Amino acid sequence: MIPTPPAGTITIAGKTVSRLGFGTMRLTNSGTWGDPDDRDTALSVLRRAVHTHGISHIDTADAYGPHTVEHLIREALHPYPDHVLIATKVGMVRPAPDQWKPLGNPFYLRACVEASLRRLKVERLELCYLHRIDPHVPPEEQIAVLHALQDEGKIGHLGLSKVTTDDIRYVAAHRPVAAVQNVLNTTDHHDPAVELCRNLNIPYVAYRPLDAGVLARAYGPAAPLHWLLSQGPHIAAILSTSRPQHLDDIVAAVQNGPA
């Protein structure tokens, strides 16, 4: 039996998934670098999110580790339940802990997709985001190779991460955008992409919904998350934690409603 999602559902990349998703960035070591200190706990958090709490939207990136979390997801959840969406991102290199650099070379993007397919053990990435648009590579070249990978059946749906309204309009003019992932929370509460995505019927996936825990410590998790989800039915939120009990607490707070 599939557990009831804690905050309702939304359709992303052709799947009806939980509006409260699980972001996997913290399932690495410090600096989003290397394996976690406790691999068994990281695997437990992933399984608990899906099998206990009904979270069916798992968000990751090849840059987390790098590569670490895609391996963890495969170990914890493969074969993936039909109702679960695994979303990953490509287009970022990691020179060192806490360092991130966009790299939109088309050959690199293709290699990233091929490697993620192997690590996740799938024939198609159901939702693949361009992690960042590289300002040093013509955007049409970056988008063209991802569209080619769609045509080859290696990407199901294409998303955009940390983008402007102009970026969204440019890509959407050529082919549908499956999701936009930007920062949104009660501190960073103004993003014109929210309204544009509403108008274009694009799911908006908010990362840092609790501002890396700052809002949860100040107000508890319920009120900030309920504010976020109240911004429209096209909004989803990606929570992140490395601790099973913390995951339980956040889900319980959302289910109980804002204080």
CB 3 within 8 A of CB 52: yes
The string of pLDDT tens digits covering residues 106-123 is: 999 999 999 999 999 999
Residue 245 pLDDT exceeds 60: yes
The pLDDT score that the predictor gives to residue 213 is 81
The string of pLDDT tens digits covering residues 193-237 is: 999 999 999 999 999 999 888 888 888 898 999 999 999 999 999
Residue 1 lies in a domain: no
The pLDDT score that the predictor gives to residue 51 is 97
Average pLDDT, the chain: 96
Q: Which domain holds residue 102?
A: 9-256
Domain count across the chain: 1
Residue 107 lies in a domain: yes
Instruction: Say what the pTM is.
Output: 0.96
Q: Is 64 a catalytic residue?
A: yes
The pLDDT score that the predictor gives to residue 259 is 52
Residue 3 lies in a domain: no
Residue 149 lies in a domain: yes
Residue 4 lies in a domain: no
Calculate what percentage of the chain has a pLDDT beyond 70: 99
The pLDDT score that the predictor gives to residue 258 is 63
Instruction: Report which of residues 220 and 22 the model is more confident about.
Output: 22
Residue 252 pLDDT exceeds 70: yes
User: What is the pLDDT confidence band of residue 253, given thresholds at 50, 70 and 90?
Assistant: confident
The pLDDT score that the predictor gives to residue 42 is 98
Q: Between vectors from CA 39 to CA 33 and to CA 43, what angle results, nearest 5°?
A: 110
The string of pLDDT tens digits covering residues 140-176 is: 999 999 999 999 999 999 999 999 999 999 999 999 9
Domain CATH number, residue 173: 3.20.20.100
Average pLDDT (26-32) is 97
User: What is the pLDDT confidence band of residue 56, given thresholds at 50, 70 and 90?
Assistant: very high
